[in-house]
Chains A and B, each alone.
Chain A
Amino acid sequence: MAPALAWLTALMVVPCALVLALAFFRRGTYGGIEYTFTLENFGLVFDPLYAGIFLNSARIAGTATLIAVIIGYAAAYAIAAAPRRLQPVLLFFAVLPFWSNYLIRTYAWIVLLNREGLVTQLLRWFGYTGEPPSMLYTEGAVIAGLVYNYLPFVILACYAPLSRLNPELAEASRDLGASVVTTFRRVILPLTVPGIAAGAVFVFVLSIGNFVTPALLGGGRFQMIGNLVYDQFLTANDWPFGAALAMALIAIMLLVLMAQAIATDRASGHAAEARSNVDG
Chain B
Amino acid sequence: MSEPRTLLQIDHVSKNFGRVTAVDGISLDIRENEFFALLGPSGCGKTTLLRMLAGFETPNDGRILLDGRDIARTPPNKRPVNLMFQSYALFPHMSVRANVSYGLEMERLPAAEIRERVDAILATTELVPFADRKPEQLSGGQKQRVALARALVKRPRLLLLDEPLGALDKKLRGAMQLELKRLQHEVGITFVIVTHDQEESLVMADRMAVLKDGKLLQCDTPHAVYEYPADRFVADFIGVMNFVPGKATADGVLAANGARIAGKLPATLSPGATAVASVRPERIRLFPKAQTANRISGTVEALAYQGLDLQLHVRTPLSPKPFLVRVTADAADRRPVSAGDTIELGWDAADVRIFKD
Q: A173-B102, A174-B75 are in contact. Are A166 and B89 (CB under 8 A)?
A: yes
Chain A residue contacts of B86, Cβ below 8 A: 280
The reply to whether A272 and B154 contact each other, CB–CB distance below 8 Å, is no
CB neighbours of B299 from chain A (8 A): none
Known: A191-B92, A270-B92. A175 touches B77 (CB 8 A): yes
B167 in the interface, Cβ–Cβ < 8 Å? yes
Residues of A within 8 A of B356 (CB): none
Contact of B93 with A190 in the complex, beta carbons under 8 Å: yes
* Mask: chain B, 144-174; 1 = CB below 8 Å from A; 0 = not: 0000001100100000000000010000000
- Report the Cα distance A176→B109, complex, angstroms: 14
Chain A residue numbers with a CB within 8 Å of B56 are 171, 174-175
A267 CA / B136 CA spacing, docked (Å): 13
Indicate if the CB atoms of B82 and A274 lie closer than 8 Å. Answer: no
Asked if A273 is an interface residue, CB under 8 A from chain B, the answer is: yes
Q: Which residues of B contact A276 (CB under 8 A)?
A: 136
Smallest Cβ-Cβ distance to B83: which chain A residue: A175
Interface size on A, residues (CB 8 A): 28
Stretch of A83-91, A177-185, A235-243 on the interface side? A177-185
Contact of B93 with A175 in the complex, beta carbons under 8 Å:
no
B37 at the interface (CB under 8 A from A): no
**Residues of chain B contacted by A172 (CB below 8 angstroms):** 83, 85, 89-91
Which chain A positions have C-beta within 8 A of B82? Answer: 175-176
CB distance from A182 to the nearest CB of B (A): 7
Cβ-defined partner of A273 (8 Å) among B54, B134, B150, B167 = B134
Cα-based distance from A172 to B154 in the complex (angstroms):
13
Q: Which 7 A-B pairs have the closest CB atoms?
A: A273-B92, A280-B87, A177-B106, A176-B103, A270-B93, A172-B89, A168-B89
With both chains docked as a complex, state the minimum distance between the C-beta of B75 and any C-beta of chain A, in angstroms: 7
Residue of A nearest to B85 (CB): A168
Least Cβ–Cβ distance between B341 and chain A, in angstroms = 48
Q: Is the CB of A272 within 8 A of B136?
A: yes
The reply to whether A269 and B106 form a contact with Cβ atoms under 8 Å apart is: no
B88 within 8 Å of A by Cβ? yes
Residues of B within 8 A of A179 (CB): 77
Contact A278 B54 (CB under 8 A): no
- The interface residues of chain A lying within 8 Å CB-to-CB of B333 are none
The reply to whether B154 and A274 form a contact with Cβ atoms under 8 Å apart is no
Q: Within the assembled complex, what's the spacing in Å between the Cα atoms of A272 and B134?
A: 12
Q: Which residues of A contact B135 (CB under 8 A)?
A: 273
> Is there an interface contact between B93 and A277, defined as CB atoms closer than 8 Å?
no
B51 CB, min distance to chain A CBs, angstroms: 9
B134 touches A177 (CB 8 A): no
In the complex, whether B76 has a CB less than 8 A from a CB of chain A is yes
Chain B residue nearest to A168 (CB atoms) is B89
CA distance A176 to B76 in the complex (A): 8
A169-B91, A172-B91, A176-B151 known, 15 other contacts, Cβ within 8 Å: A168-B85, A171-B76, A172-B83, A174-B55, A176-B77, A177-B106, A177-B154, A178-B102, A271-B92, A272-B136, A274-B92, A276-B136, A277-B90, A280-B86, A280-B88
Can you name the residue of chain B whose Cβ is closest to the Cβ of A272? B136
Report which A residues bind B (CB closer than 8 A). 166, 168-169, 171-179, 182, 186-187, 190-191, 267, 269-274, 276-278, 280
Does B93 lie within 8 Å of A278, measured CB to CB?
A: no
The one of B75, B102, B167 that contacts A176, using a Cβ cutoff of 8 Å: B102
The A interface, classified by DSSP as helix, strand, loop or mixed, is helix
User: Which of B83, B87, B107, B135 has the most chain A CB within a 10 Å cutoff?
Assistant: B87
Majority secondary structure, B binding face: loop
A222–B348 Cα distance when bound, in Å, is: 99
Cβ of A81 to closest chain B Cβ, rounded Å: 15
Question: Taking the nearest CB of chain B, how far is it from the CB of A157, in angstroms?
Answer: 19
- Please give, as numbers and ranges, the residues of chain A lying within 8 Å of B92 by CB-CB distance: 169, 191, 269-274, 277
Interchain CB contact (< 8 A) of B54 among A175, A178, A277: A175
Q: Is there contact, CB below 8 Å, between A182 and B106?
A: yes
Question: If the complex has contacts A182-B106, A267-B93, A277-B87, are A174 and B136 also in contact, measured as CB distance less than 8 A?
Answer: no
B87 in complex: contacting residue of A168, A176, A182, A186, CB < 8 Å: A168
Question: B85 contacts which chain A residues (CB < 8 A)?
Answer: 168, 171-172
A174→B87 contact, CB < 8 A: no
Using an 8 Å CB-CB cutoff, how does the interface string of B100-119 with A read, 1 for contact, 0 for none? 00110011000000000000
Given contacts A269-B92, A270-B93, contact A176 B150 (CB under 8 A): yes
Q: Which of B89, B107, B167 counts the most A-chain CB atoms under 10 A from its CB?
A: B89
Chain B residues within 8 Å of A187, by CB:
91
A-B contact pairs, 25 of them (CB 8 A): A166-B87, A169-B92, A171-B85, A171-B89, A172-B83, A172-B85, A172-B90, A172-B91, A173-B102, A174-B56, A174-B75, A175-B77, A175-B82, A176-B150, A177-B106, A190-B93, A191-B93, A267-B93, A269-B92, A269-B93, A277-B87, A277-B88, A277-B89, A277-B90, A280-B86
What's the minimum C-beta distance from B6 to chain A, rounded to whole angstroms?
23
Q: A169-B91, A278-B87 are in contact. Are A178 and B106 (CB under 8 A)?
A: yes
Q: How long is the Cα–Cα vector from A270 to B193 in the complex, in angstroms?
A: 29
Query: Are B91 and A174 in contact (CB-based, < 8 A)?
Result: no
Within 8 Å by CB of A269, from B76, B87, B134, B150, lies B134
**CB atoms of A174 and B89 under 8 A apart:** no
Q: Is the CB of B77 within 8 A of A174?
A: yes
